[in-house]
Amino acid sequence: DTFPNLKELNLDWNETMNQTYGGLFGEFFCKLEVLRLCGKDDKLIVVPSVFVEGLRYLKSLSVSNLFFDNEGQYAGTFERLTALHLSKMPKLMLLWKENSEQVKSLVQLKHLLLFECKRMREIVTNKREGEAGDEICFNQLNHLWLIDLPSLRSFHLGNRTIKFPSLEDLNVSRCPEMKIFSNGVLSMPKLERVGLDENKLFPNKRELLLEEDVNSAIKRFWEENYDPCVQQLFTEKTNASTSEAEKKTGVDNLRMT
């Protein structure tokens, strides 16, 4: 049976569905706008991308405990997508390859949440050096949350210009390897505060300092919380201050007696 008028679907995916639906998932649910796919905690299941590529009207996609076989091709698959939430995908290492045609199809994306993808190293992968004038623009992206990604090194390690003209909400939490957001020119004209934390899932927002961009804020945060050299220096200064305070207290006590 087909469901031509179904707009929203929550689906616990299992291996039998790979055989049941074949490549006709898009035909069965041709008007689907919201799709939530969930696998099992104890077993990772690969979902062939052909199952969802036919969902031309899809606006919101949430995937948990699953893995698509077309890593790096998400952008080219869903041209109307406004929200993409990916969680607990242990094999996912990148989201998009730096292909201009793929990124151009992201014109509608407003919300991007990546949570607990342990091997994720880069959002837009750096396969070749960017050329002068190359840029990646996320025109509508307003919310970007990068949470519990222990292997994430950067949003993009290449030299391309990255633009977020609409971004107002950026949260980076539990990403100990992330020292910089992007190596290239970065533009976030509407962003005034950023959430950074090494423990909390929902970090408090901190104001960007005068003349400070996101790269500088992330670098400063990393040095304060993860850099062993800075940590050691901070500890030494703290110990020295404590020792000096103890000496002063001892002198004051002697004077009092």
In 3-state terms, what secondary structure has residue 230? Answer: helix
Segment 32-60 mean pLDDT? 82
Q: Is residue 129 part of a domain?
A: yes
In 3-state terms, what secondary structure has residue 204? Answer: coil
Could you tell me the residue range of the domain that residue 33 belongs to?
A: 8-256
Count of domains forming the chain? 1
Q: Is residue 79 part of a domain?
A: yes
Predicted pLDDT of residue 51: 74
Predicted pLDDT of residue 257: 38
Q: Is residue 208 part of a domain?
A: yes
81 within 8 A of 60, measured Cβ to Cβ: yes
How far apart are alpha carbons 252 and 241 in whole angstroms? 16
Q: Is residue 244 part of a domain?
A: yes
> Mean pLDDT across the chain, nearest whole number?
78
Q: Is residue 117 part of a domain?
A: yes
What's the pTM value of the predicted model, to 2 decimals? 0.80
By CB atoms closer than 10 A (0-12, 13-18, 19+), residue 93 is middle
Predicted pLDDT of residue 11: 85
How far apart are alpha carbons 87 and 149 in whole angstroms? 10
98 within 8 A of 72, measured Cβ to Cβ: no
In 3-state terms, what secondary structure has residue 19? Answer: helix
39 within 8 A of 65, measured Cβ to Cβ: yes
By CB atoms closer than 10 A (0-12, 13-18, 19+), residue 29 is buried
In 3-state terms, what secondary structure has residue 95? Answer: strand
How far apart are alpha carbons 214 and 36 in whole angstroms? 31
Segment 154-163 mean pLDDT? 89
Q: Is residue 213 part of a domain?
A: yes
* Apex 118 CA angle, 97 and 207, nearest 5: 80
Q: Is residue 220 part of a domain?
A: yes
185 within 8 A of 162, measured Cβ to Cβ: yes
pLDDT digits (tens, 9 = 90+) for 84-140: 999 998 888 888 876 656 666 677 899 999 999 999 999 988 666 555 457 888 999
Q: Which of 26-40, 101-115, 125-139, 233-247 has the lowest mean pLDDT?
A: 233-247
109 within 8 A of 135, measured Cβ to Cβ: no
252 pLDDT higher than 60: no
Q: Is residue 3 part of a domain?
A: no
By CB atoms closer than 10 A (0-12, 13-18, 19+), residue 182 is buried
Q: Locate tokens 């969680």: which residue?
A: 87
Strand bridging mode 66-68 / 45-47: parallel
